[in-house]
Structure formats: C-alpha cells, structure tokens
C-alpha cells in the first residue's frame, strides 16, 4: 500500500499462489507468473497436483517431525536447477531452507487477482517441478500472454533476459 504508482507482481513457483492472492490490491496493474502455480478460485497446490501421479522425485523428499521437507543435493539439482552450472547448484542448494509442505494445502480465496487484470506467463519448457504443459494450462485458464523459454524451473537465473523482458513489458503496457 505504501508503493507510489502502479505495481506489477511477479511470482515464481509457489510465489504464483502468493500473487494470486496479493494481486487483488487496487494498485496492482499486472501479474507475471514465472514457472509458477496459478490456482483457480478456492484451489490449493495439492488440489492441483492430486489430478496427477506423483513425480518420480517425490519419494526423495525428507520430512522432519514439523512437516518441513528437504531434498538430497543431487536430487534437488536435477529437479530445480537442471540448467545451471554445478557450482551454482551447490550454492543454491546450500542456502535453500526447508520448505513447510503443509503450505501446499492452503487454498486461495474465491476471488483471484488474475481474473481482472493483465497476466503474463513465463513458461519454462524444461521445468521438472511444474511441467510446461501444466504451466500452459494455467496460462490458458488465466488468458495470459505466454512467453515460452527453454530454461528449467530456475529460468530467472539460467536465462534471465526473456524473464526480465516479460516483466518490463507487463510494467510498460497500457
């Protein structure tokens, strides 16, 4: 609310759920989903994923008693950072905090931000977390402008130029 002028919200992965809710603010001019989930009204990530068989890497998740999950480094790198150099994969894995898996049960409200403002979807063709066909399904349900990119899930790191251009285009559109 303190931001002067129009706002463009950008969400990556789970961040798509966040901007689907936070984007309902009147200052939000546009939304950009980058390799992101985009739930329908009342939907959670787990509700979306329940329509599909678990991915092969799902069994490699390690959950602690509090419901926080981590992956072994090699598995994480092969899922999330497939198109990054090994050194970058190691650093990113080392700073990746455990994720509370229960957050995937949180449904968005009955009104979603993408229903009444411009949306751009950066669709990562090589994504092993949110496969490109699922990203395209989200883009179609939102009526998005689609920006296909060849990168994996962390495309904003492996191929930042088209991601930046998509954000700039959303910010400068009338």
The answer to the question of residue 74 being in a domain is yes
The answer to the question of residue 1 being in a domain is no
The answer to the question of residue 162 being in a domain is yes
Same domain, 122 and 41: yes
pLDDT the model gives residue 12? 98
Same domain, 111 and 95: no
Same domain, 81 and 153: no
pLDDT the model gives residue 140? 98
Domain count, the chain: 2
Domain range spanning residue 146? Answer: 7-48+107-172
Q: Could you read off the pLDDT of 33-49 as tens digits, one per residue? A: 999 999 999 999 999 99
Q: Average pLDDT for residues 121-133, to the nearest whole number?
A: 97
The secondary structure of 7-33 as a DSSP string is EEEEEEETHHHHHHHHTTSTTEEEEEE
Q: What percent of the chain has pLDDT over 70?
A: 100
Same domain, 64 and 92: yes
Same domain, 39 and 112: yes
Q: Could you read off the pLDDT of 75-114 as tens digits, one per residue? A: 999 999 999 999 999 999 999 999 999 999 999 999 999 9
Candidates 25, 23, 26, 24; CA nearest to 9 is: 23
Q: Which residue has the tokens 């009338």?
A: 174
Same domain, 166 and 120: yes
Candidates 57, 89, 59, 60; CA nearest to 157 is: 89
Report field, pTM of the whole predicted structure over 0.85:
yes
User: How far is Cα 33 from Cα 146, in angstroms, rounded to an integer?
Assistant: 10
């Amino acid at each position: 609310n303190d931001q002067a002028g129009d706002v463009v919200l950008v969400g990556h992965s789970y961040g798509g759920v966040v901007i689907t809710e936070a984007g309902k603010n009147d200052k939000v001019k546009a939304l950009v989903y980058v390799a992101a989930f985009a739930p329908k009204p009342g939907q959670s990530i787990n509700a979306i994923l329940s329509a599909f068989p678990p991915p092969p890497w799902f069994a490699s998740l390690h959950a602690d008693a509090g419901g926080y999950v981590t992956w072994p480094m090699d598995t994480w790198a092969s899922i999330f950072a497939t198109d990054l150099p090994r050194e970058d994969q190691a650093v990113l894995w080392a700073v990746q905090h455990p994720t509370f898996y229960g957050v995937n049960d949180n449904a968005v409200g009955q009104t979603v931000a993408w229903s009444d403002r411009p949306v751009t979807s950066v669709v990562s063709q090589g994504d092993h977390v949110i496969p490109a066909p699922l990203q395209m399904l989200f883009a179609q349900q939102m009526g998005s402008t689609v920006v296909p990119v060849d990168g994996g899930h962390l495309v904003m790191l492996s191929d930042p130029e088209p991601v930046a251009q998509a954000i700039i285009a959303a910010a400068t559109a009338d």
